[in-house]
Chains A and B, each alone.
Chain A
Amino acid sequence: MTTEPLADPLAMTAPPAGVKIRMYRQGLGDCFLLAFATGTGRPCYMLIDCGVLLGTSDAGRKMRQVAESLRDSTGGRIDVLVATHQHWDHLSGFDQAREVFDQIDFGEVWVGWTEDPGNDLANRLRTRRRAHLQALSAAARSLRAVGAAPKAETLEAVLGFFGDLGVDGHPSRIEAALDYVLGRGKPPRYRTPGETVGLPGSPARVHVLGPPLDEALLLRSDPSHKASEVYEKRLALTEETAFFAAVLAAAGPLSPEERELRDLSFPFDGIYRVDPERAKGDDFFQEHYYGEVGTGEVGTGDAGTPAEKEMAWRQIEGDWLGSADNLALQLDSDTNNTSLALGIELSPGGKVLLFPGDAQVGNWLSWHHLGTIDAADLLRRTALYKVGHHASHNATLREKGLELMERPDLVAMIPVDEQMAHRPKGGNPDGWDMPFLPLLERLKEKTQGRVLRADSGPPPPEDLAGLSAAEREAFSASCVVTPLYLEITILP
């Protein structure tokens, strides 16, 4: 059988059977275009995410370029658009290149059930996310106010996963990007784990693995066990809300509801509380904490009343805001864990493409409890693994994940930009640990060197030394490398 050539020379073709996978190289972010063979001249196109990290230089132009390529490569029609989760490095393009996406026709839009406005738990998660972001961006502002700008920047870098937060900390840009995606669905399909869905015209079947329906597993990315308790009740005094009340009070005027919570959150009765302004005039607090207020100059204070600057190194004005770091990590992980994770089986019993989004531990673990899908079997048959979360340490499960992948022709694609990740983030001069070296090395072992990275491209020859000449040849022949993207063909 011969495939009819497409009219458009820019079009991305599919192999006669199987799939071609294209990873765009816009920076630290995910954008994957898949072209499945259909038997007709036109492949079935699937787009998984389209975003780049906040702070990427010239991001708007880059994303427009990517979107134009998506449009031109697909002849302006994408059969399935998948948005894995609500993070800027996965969705920014739908905001930055909206006018280009307007020119693309989408067949279906798939998102996780966690984006469903009709789902209670999903709504609670969203409410909590907003409350978190509001408090955390207020915490960053307070850190600046007490002179801890580097700490503020480190925190803001993590918050950058939610895009540009306005002054009120509302993630309006990312929500708008997601709303745009949802709006392009007719209506969007909210996918739940355990479902298996066909692709138009293709023998491939898509198994939905996550996000988990079980709340405990959904929140099982949680760095601490002071998780998520009763977060729908914002007025209940919990460790989280007590902290939020303090942060919001430090940042500006409170709503009546917030004021009530703050009053509840004081550890002692009013008669014990002394206003800091009053304490600054008190001998004890001057001598032991604030220093002699007003003189400022080092060494000018009388003996026993050191000047303010000499006292500063032991003050703790901003230390309590350190709790924000943990909350930011928790929020980041919890959101990653809502990733729509897909196992795409090219033919019954055949090769599998694994696209886990940025799924964290709880999401990965939950796959193994799906009655309708044998996740371990899918993992064993995985021929292409889209490495989660830019190959950070926390998004690839070991024993119940990568170690199960045993195909000798396994390929890993890593959407990472190491330089961008390692760029100093405020008070952290080393930046983010992506890719995580031990994971990267294990990936190289498992794939015998077949690791495609968005930043550095195809593997250097020495990485492929373990392959036979024929295997090396076949692998090279299956790859296409351009400055804009990397492509690999997976035959069924």
Chain B
Amino acid sequence: MPRIKPPMRRPPPFRKLRVYAFDPSLNWQIDTAVINQMTLQVPWEELRPGPVGEYLEVVDVDPASHCCYAPVDLDDRFALAADGLEPAEGDPQFHQQMVYAVAMTTIHNFERALGRRILWSQADAGQNYQFVPRLRIYPHAMRDSNAYYSPKKKALLFGYFPASITDPGHNLPGGTVFTCLSHDVIAHETTHALLDGLHRRFMEPTNADTLALHEGFADIVALFQHFSFAPALRDQIRRTRGDLAGQNLLGQLAQQFGQALGNRGALRDALGKVDPATGEWVPRKPDPADLQEAKEPHTRGAILVAAVFDAFLTIYKSRIADLLRIATAGSGVLPAGDLHPDLVDRLAREAAASAGHMLNMCIRALDHCPPVDVNFGDYLRALVTADRDLVPDDDRGYRIAVIEAFRRRGIYPSGVRSLSAESLCWARPVGDEAAALHGLLPGVKGLRRVRPDWSLTTDRHKVWEQMQQSCREIHGWLLSEEVQELAAHFGLALGPDAPRSIDRNKDGLPLFEVHSVRPARRLGPDGQTLTDLVIEITQKRRGYINPVWQDKVDSGEIAPPPHDFWLRGGCTVLVDLDRGAVRYCIGKGIVSEARMATQRAFARTSGSLQATYFGDPRRREQAEPFAMLHDLPAIEEETFDY
């Protein structure tokens, strides 16, 4: 007899999964155990065991232990009934659940901020540049106090290691620490992969800032995700009485990891550090000299993180000033004792909103960065420009807060006339340049043809194929003769007279690549949503430490010997699709002698032990550019590094 069934239902919007809000170490202290429980709401998707979904595939092989761990099935009825598996360090299936849930949350934050689907970077030449549908996650890839994103394998590799015996912090001495159970580490590594998906040249160390931006940006995303942990946020607001500039968990990254290495504290802290002499936490004072001295990417990235966090605090303080006045009958001075729970809630809400805004700002800025050789100054300009495009009126002073925080740390863009928001925004092409750029692009009709549909419901493989098609079309346009003459506006050299250090195609013309064509949202003056087209075009040129060789190769006097480094150039062009006008052209000139000299100076002074024996990342691409970053010696500054 046929069974009677209710009508088909739509799937729920979210799948609830339990994770550690920070990492397991907070469970061992009575005051943090409660806030460490967290249930993430991950956008619902069909999942296979692994979990394997649309964006991610968790594959739990552990070659160092010569074993594998069975994949978790999150559709299992027990798991569905109980918000997933219970957090447990000794259960590898819970580890799989946690990396999946946190990585998906990070991806979701990106898609929300950008208003489009995210793609992983394409596979290498060896794999025919194929589409990579899913980032792979190996939760137990190695026995090392390290975790990294592998651009070659399109995978996150997490290590595990025994905690320090002599100085383990809150850890069990010799007890196993899993980097895949740290919310911060997962968010950080996922962000590396997301950033690589947008800008695959940003992992090339062409100046001191590129890798630092990768690291700093990954930390920024991990930090601001803390503010979506409601119980933890309320708890920390309560403890700090609303003053988030003091020592608090929200500004710290990777507690357990840092302590297990004997650091006496979190791995990194945006606000301060523990003085090794006194054991006391001291706030970090902004000092432009720090930027001069910091060379190691994490240290340098930490300055960027501190600047962004500082801007966030300014915004937060201005948003809660009225609340404090209301709560204190106008004095703004809080009485002793605990804050009223309602006030805590309201402050928490403001903190979460400010953090959300900063995070969105930071992510959106990526569409306004040059495609190669980015530096902190470029990123500041991108932040300001992207925010102005979306929020034309800065009545809350967010952009000023950002500029001020960067200025206090000595981060200035080069080639701007003042530090006002207007001068920092990328300049709109005017006059002759605008005319030239206009002539470069075909009419509105042609552009509309390449307008990609990246809405959040489109199939990602289709999105990718469409992008490939758009890239090919734009590449074709750029090959025409009239375009060659205008190429300088784009930072490119496309004519037959281009330096011979740029390799040629079969017709004897310089090679170049249309790197990406993607849509970006912005608000028009009347509040309507507009779509810009972001086109990235890049070119590479052989660079030599010896300027005499460079001249000879450039002029074609000698055939190019093996190069010492690649100089990359090109631009990010933002096109207003509706008017068919170029709004910005953010370039790095390929023929610029100044750029060549700067990178030459940078390429010849890497000077690390790593570089001495295993090859210099500033000159040659390394198999795993992110793997070694954590291990650079702290002693660099003392040895030779002129």
Contacts and interface: CB of A to CB of B under 8 A. Distances in A.
Interface of A: 154, 157-158, 220-226, 229-230, 236-239, 241-243, 246, 249-250, 265-269, 272-276, 279, 284-285, 288-289, 313-320, 322-323, 325-326, 328-329, 332-333, 361, 365, 392-400, 402, 425, 427-430, 432-434, 436-439, 441-442
Interface string B50-83: 1010000101011111111111000000000000
B143 A323 contact: yes
Contacts of A242: 143, 161-162
B173 to A, nearest CB: 9
A320 B161 CA distance: 12
B238 interface: no
Contact of B141 (A237, A239, A319, A438): A319
Contacts of A243: 64, 143-144
A253 B640 CA distance: 44
Q: Is the interface of B mostly helix, strand, loop or mixed?
A: loop
A33 B607 CA distance: 31
Contacts of B604: 437-438
B445 to A, nearest CB: 40
B70 A274 contact: yes
Contacts of B127: 313
22 contacts: A224-B631, A225-B261, A229-B166, A239-B143, A250-B66, A265-B162, A272-B91, A274-B69, A276-B61, A284-B70, A288-B52, A313-B127, A313-B152, A314-B136, A316-B155, A319-B63, A328-B613, A428-B614, A428-B615, A430-B619, A434-B612, A439-B642
Most buried by B among A237, A268, A273: A268
B63 A317 contact: yes
- Sort A-B residue pairs by CB-CB distance and give the 3 closest, nearest first: A320-B142, A393-B607, A273-B67
A225 to B, nearest CB: 7
A438 B605 contact: yes
A322 B627 contact: yes
A397 B162 CA distance: 34
Contact of A313 (B67, B68, B153): B153
B61 A361 contact: no
Contacts of B635: 220-221, 361
Contacts of A394: 607, 609, 612, 639-640
A272 B92 contact: yes
Nearest to B63: A317
Given A236-B165, A267-B178, A268-B92, A437 B634 contact: no
Nearest to B634: A225
Interface residues of B, number: 81
B261 A226 contact: yes
Contacts of A395: 639
Contacts of B628: 325-326
Contacts, number: 221
Given A237-B174, A316-B157, A393-B608, A433 B162 contact: no
Contacts of B176: 267
Contacts of B631: 223-224, 326
Contacts of A289: 59, 61
B63 A316 contact: yes
Given A229-B166, A243-B144, A284 B174 contact: no
B90 A269 contact: yes
B231 interface: no
Contacts of A437: 545, 604
A427 B623 CA distance: 9
B410 interface: no
B284 to A, nearest CB: 20
B50 A267 contact: no
A267 B140 contact: yes
A192 B64 CA distance: 42
Given A237-B162, A436-B607, 12 more contacts: A154-B613, A223-B631, A226-B164, A241-B162, A243-B143, A267-B62, A272-B92, A274-B70, A284-B49, A320-B64, A323-B143, A397-B638
Interface of B: 49-50, 52, 57, 59, 61-71, 90-92, 123-124, 126-127, 136, 138, 140-146, 150, 152-155, 157, 159-162, 164-166, 174, 176, 178, 261-262, 545, 604-616, 619-620, 623-624, 627-628, 630-635, 638-642
A288 B50 contact: yes
Contacts of A393: 607-609, 611-612, 639-641
A244 to B, nearest CB: 9
Contacts of B165: 229-230, 236, 238
Contacts of B64: 243, 246, 320
A249 B66 contact: yes
A436 B638 contact: no
A241 to B, nearest CB: 8
Contacts of B68: 273-276, 279, 285
Contact of B59 (A288, A322, A434, A441): A288
Contacts of A267: 62, 65, 92, 140, 160, 176, 178
A314 B155 contact: yes
A85 B623 CA distance: 33
Contact of A276 (B67, B634, B638): B67
Nearest to A426: B614
Nearest to B162: A237
A305 B62 CA distance: 22
Contact of A230 (B63, B157, B166): B166
B52 to A, nearest CB: 7
A319 B69 contact: no
A217 B71 CA distance: 47
A434 B126 CA distance: 32
A433 B620 contact: no
A273 B639 contact: no
Contact of B144 (A323, A398, A399): A323
A284 B71 contact: yes
Nearest to A445: B642
A365 B616 contact: no
A23 to B, nearest CB: 21
Contact of A398 (B57, B70, B627, B638): B638
A436 B642 CA distance: 11
Contact of B640 (A221, A246, A314, A442): A442
Contacts of A317: 63
A238 B260 CA distance: 11
A386 to B, nearest CB: 16
B181 to A, nearest CB: 11
Contacts of A157: 613
A267 B140 CA distance: 9
B564 to A, nearest CB: 9
Contacts of B545: 437
B168 to A, nearest CB: 11
A142 B468 CA distance: 40
